[in-house]
Structure formats: C-alpha cells, structure tokens
Amino acid sequence: MKQIGIIGSGAMGAGIAQVAAAAGHDVVIYDAREDALTTARDRLHETLGKLVAKGKMSASDSTALFGRIAWAGTLGALRDSDLVIEAIVEDEGVKKEVFRALSALVSDQAVIASNTSSLSVSALASACQKPERFLGLHFFNPAPLMPLVEVIPALQTDPGLPPRLKALMDQWGKRPVLARDTPGFIVNRIARPYYSESLRILEEGIATAPQIDRILKEEGGFRMGPFELMDFIGHDVNLAVTESVWRACHHEPRYQPSFTQRRLVDAGWLGRKSGRGFYDYREGTPAPDPEEIPASERTAVFERVLAMLINEAADAWYYRVADRDAIDLAMTMGVNYPKGLLRWADDWGISAVVTVLDRLFHYYHDPRYRCSPGLRQMSARSERFWPENDPDHG
C-alpha cells in the first residue's frame, strides 16, 4: 500500500496522516472545508517543529514527512489511494454518503476503512460497492502517541483482509488488536463502568467527584480519575459514546447514560474545553482538596468500580468480542489502565469479584450488577484467565 488517503483533517485525521507519513507512505488528506485543511496543515507544521526542537526528530526527517502529505479539497484526489481511512463526524448517514461516493471512485483493489469508535462497521460497509474491501480501523487520540488500533472486520469483510491490515499497523509501529463488530468494540464497551459506576456513586452521595478521583488513582493506580477523565475527553463526546453503545445494545442497563452528565452537557459545561465540567478550570479557581474518607469506605468505592470493569471485560471475553490477550492489551494500550482487567481478576481472585457483584445485585436488585456467566463459571471451577505459573503473568 503506497498511497494512503485520509478523509477528514480534524485531530484524528491529521494524526493518522502523520503516522502514515512517518511510516514512509505518500498521504493525501481530503477535507471539503478549506479552512480546516489550512488549520490542520499549520498545526502539523507546528507539531513537527516542536519535535525537532526537543530533539525527537531531525529537521530533515521533519521536512521529508511534511513533504509526503498532500492536502486536497476534492474527493477525486483520493482516486489512486491503496487504503483510504475515514475520520469524520460520528454520523452513520454522513459516513455512508461519503463511502458511496468514494467506492465509486477508487479501484476495486483499494481498501476503505472507518475510524468509527462505536458505529456498526457492517452497516457502514453496506454503503460500499465492494463491501468485502471494507473494515474498521479505530485509532485512539492522539493517534501519533497512542499505540492501540482496533481492527474490526464487518460481516462482509474478506477474511484475508484483517491480517493484512494488522500487519500494516505493526509496520506503522502500532499495537493492533482484532475485535468483533459489536457496539463499542473492545475499549469503548469495557471502559463504560469507569464512568457510569463512578457517576452512580456520586449520585448516591457516597463520595464526591474529587474523592472518587483520588481513590481510584491512589487505590487502583489509574492515571486520571473518572471525573477528571470525563472533563478531559469532553462530556459531549463521552456522553455521545455512552448513548450510542446503550442504544445499540437495546438499552442494556449496564450502559445506561447518567442524568448528571446529561445536565452538564445541557448547561454547556463540557469540561476542560469549555472551562467548566465536574471541575472549574477558570483562571484563579483553586484546585479542590477533597476530605479523607475512612479506609473501609475507600476500599468499597474502589472495589465497586473495579468489579464492574472486570465484569465488562469478562463479558466481552465470554461473548467472543475479542480474545483474552487482545482485551488486556486494548485496555492498557488504549486507555492506559495500570493493569489488564483479566489479569487483575486473577490477582484479586475471581471468586472475590463475583462476591462483590452479587452483593451489589442483591442490594440494588438492578440488572446492571448481574455477574457475567463467564466469571461465574470460572469461579465455580476455581479457574483463572492465566495459569498461576505463567511467566508473563503480571
């Protein structure tokens, strides 16, 4: 694959273009908005300049990388691309319209991929003339820095295509994992409880947002607490993914959106980018200093969130969304979890996880807390995800 086409010059599109160009490909970025292309070109030039200034890239390599990228305002510029990656608004109708036009333009051998984070890849493939040449390639933001790429074949995808694209992602220096075409794929499905269960704890008045953030960082080793992370992602984006997964899973209770987060979006308090979210980022506002809570309560808040995360990971494994290794790799490489959740289950003890989930279910009588059949079976058989003597364990 010599020429790579990119549709969309936003943060994701430009980031993917940078990765492809760094791997030696000729890249063409298409965007119908001339101002967006200009902005993306200027930002990339600035980014490369900073890398040179920090000694992370030579000036000649920077110039060569930038020179391999062409900026186009017409879709026809992608005609000769061997692989086209779409990275535009997360709207099925808009994406399908683009794919109909694109598939009539490129050769029958060209591969078309979508960077969708939660839409059905099979539904998007149906808009293409050659759906067997279509699949999902889900990069994580910022694409030049985050190593994970989820490779998602559609039902229509030629079986030989995913291995080829995994090999290409390896060549790009990425860590590709194969995922089934299910709502949220691996990461955006399994990560939901980190936000939703923390929101439930907040809504019940058990702990404040700063307290929950501190507990999950100190007890669990997470880099950012859930409320800090939602503020960083943007509540409009985070809520949209939750709602998309919830709808696609026929209103599954585990993915039910939070009224608290919806009200933040309604108020325009989107997080860091708007200056307000769960935290106040306006100049002069002091950082919160959360009160300490008793050690037993700290442990119970942390174990509740962790058990729900492990349950989601185990369910994804049980229903063959991805294999064991792909799930743990995805969560450590895609969202920087301190440990793979299935390894965490082994270390904590699967029976202990089941006990926490059953206690929550019996207390709330809420189906969101039902234990994954995979976990329950493993607990009954005293099984582990990894053998205890596995040299790679931990």
Q: Do residues 226 and 195 touch, judged by C-beta distance below 8 A?
A: yes
Out of 86, 150, 197, 228, which one is annotated catalytic?
150
DSSP state of 40: H
CA 82 from centroid of its chain's CA atoms:
26
- The span from the CA of 85 to the CA of 3, in Å, is 11
- The span from the CA of 308 to the CA of 344, in Å, is 12
Task: List 7's β-bridge partners, or say none.
Answer: 30, 86
Please report, in angstroms and rounded to a whole number, the separation of the first and last CA atoms in the chain: 37
Q: Determine whether 392 is exposed, middle or buried from the number of CB atoms within 10 Å of its CB (0-12, 13-18, 19+).
A: exposed
96 token code pair: 């399908």
Decide if 197 is catalytic: no
Residue 382 identity: S
Decide if 90 is catalytic: no
Instruction: Tell me the angle at which helices 192-203 and 226-233 cross, rounded to the nearest 10 degrees.
Output: 120
348 token code pair: 């904590």
Decide if 303 is catalytic: no
Out of 138, 238, 258, 311, which one is annotated catalytic?
138
Q: Which residues contact 298 (CB under 8 A, 6 or more apart)?
A: 215, 219
Backbone angles phi, psi at 131, to 5 degrees: -65, -20
Out of 81, 103, 115, 117, which one is annotated catalytic?
117
Decide if 117 is catalytic: yes
Out of 62, 81, 120, 188, which one is annotated catalytic?
188
3-state secondary structure (DSSP) of residue 86: strand
Q: Do residues 353 and 307 touch, judged by C-beta distance below 8 A?
A: yes
Residue 241 identity: V
Task: Give 313-319 contacts, CB < 8 A, sequence gap 24+.
Answer: 313/190, 313/341, 313/342, 313/345, 314/341, 314/342, 314/345, 314/372, 314/374, 314/375, 314/378, 315/372, 315/374, 316/186, 316/189, 316/190, 317/342, 317/374, 317/385, 318/372, 318/373, 318/374, 318/375, 319/182
- The span from the CA of 55 to the CA of 53, in Å, is 5
- Which residues belong to the active site? 117, 138, 150, 188
